[in-house]
Amino acid sequence: MGFNFLTQELAIDLGTANTVIFQNDQIVLDEPSIVAIDNSTGKALALGQKAKLMQERENPGIKTVRPLKDGVIADFNAAEMMIRGFIKQVNSKRRSLFTPNLKIVVGIPSGSTEVEIRAVRDSTEHAGGRDVYLIYEPMASALGIGLDVEAPKGNMVVDIGGGTTEIAVISLGGIVVQDSIKVAGDVFTNDIQMYLRQQHNIRVGQITAEKIKIAIGAVIPNLEEEPEPYAITGPNLMTAHPVHATITHQEIAHCLDKSVARIETGIIHVLEQTPPELYADIVENGIHLAGGGSLLRGLATRLTEKINIPFHVAEDPLRAVARGTCLALKNTENYTFLMR
């Protein structure tokens, strides 16, 4: 045991949309990945949920930044502020005389370049991480879903996050084939904004579009349980008079169609490159869906029909990567797929 009480272990799922931190198997933080910055001083005014409330409502003295774009760090300075702030929030709950040694495992997209990987590592180290390990997100989601990633068996995971959709085939503790496509939650939100402009002549912000996505987001018109239509109010594009509209899930399924088709193409593309023995395992076990995007109504049904392999949505798909990162943290000695 020794000085173990001075080492603090955190598992961080640094997502484009949300950041989740696990400590001792507990979620100690789950906040939107956003930071509000005072333009004159460059200091962080608010993080996470508090900053999200300011998003699209800020005045010229404040800017809200989402440091991650397409799953990778786009604004280095803001990312560091955010990671540091979140770690501080977790630490403010424990009183200690010593600054603990932080051992941190962070999930990163499987398509990350060397530069992007270094950005995550540097930001985490600058925010206080002593021992920083990185894990590819599809690997983390496979662990989080509860798959045996080290078995000589093919498992396929499709993780639809905020910035990227990660598609990977995993066997023997490694990623055999992977693709990372930039069609995910943010693109769906955008699609909804565009659709409302074109079809209803209404301007809506990202926040409202995201609420619509969560409330009635669907990818097939015929659902077993249909959500109630969603009422919105916004300015008419031409006159700026208020317009009231009621949006149905069928409309959302229609406007997301092209983006979901791009994810389908990505999945087929990965299956084409999968070795036949692993392919056989995948057909037998089905394909696992994780990430917030897998909460779109009817997604598993649509993909199963399209690809003829059963799709299963993980339980609590939003947290799959975070849970897997947490499992990896316990096993940093044994797991060969962790990167130092």
In this structure, the answer to whether residues 179 and 199 fall within a common structural domain is no
Look at the block and give the residue holding tokens 């799709």.
Answer: 311
In angstroms, rounded to a whole number, what is the distance separating the alpha carbons of residues 19 and 104? Answer: 14
Q: What is the DSSP secondary-structure string of 240-280?
A: --EEEEEE-HHHHHHHHHHHHHHHHHHHHHHHHHS-HHHHH
Q: What percent of the chain has pLDDT over 90?
A: 66
Residues 111, 236 within the same domain: no
For 291, the domain range is 148-183+256-318
Q: Are residues 127 and 215 in the same domain?
A: no
Q: What is the pLDDT of residue 220?
A: 95
What pLDDT, in 10s, does the model give residues 157-173? 999 999 999 999 999 99
Backbone angles phi, psi at 139, to 5 degrees: -65, -45
Q: Are residues 177 and 280 in the same domain?
A: yes
In a domain, 295, yes or no: yes
pLDDT band at 209 (very low <50, low <70, confident <90, very high): very high
| Residue 336, in any domain of the structure | no
Assess whether 164 and 309 both reside in one domain. Answer: yes
pLDDT score for 246: 95
The average pLDDT across 114-136 equals 87
Instruction: Give residue 93's pLDDT band: very low, low, confident or very high (50, 70, 90).
Output: low
| 280 lies in the same domain as 314 | yes
Name the band, by pLDDT with cuts 50, 70 and 90, for residue 96.
low
Q: Is residue 337 part of a domain?
A: no
Residues 44 and 122 in one domain: yes
Residue 252: pLDDT over 90: yes
Say yes or no to pLDDT of 283 above 50: yes
- pTM of the complete model: 0.90
The 10 Å Cβ neighbour count of residue 340 is 8
Q: Is pLDDT of 211 > 90?
A: yes
- Is residue 338 in some structural domain? no
The mean per-residue pLDDT over the stretch 68-73 comes to 85
287-290 and 242-247: which strand pairing? Answer: unpaired
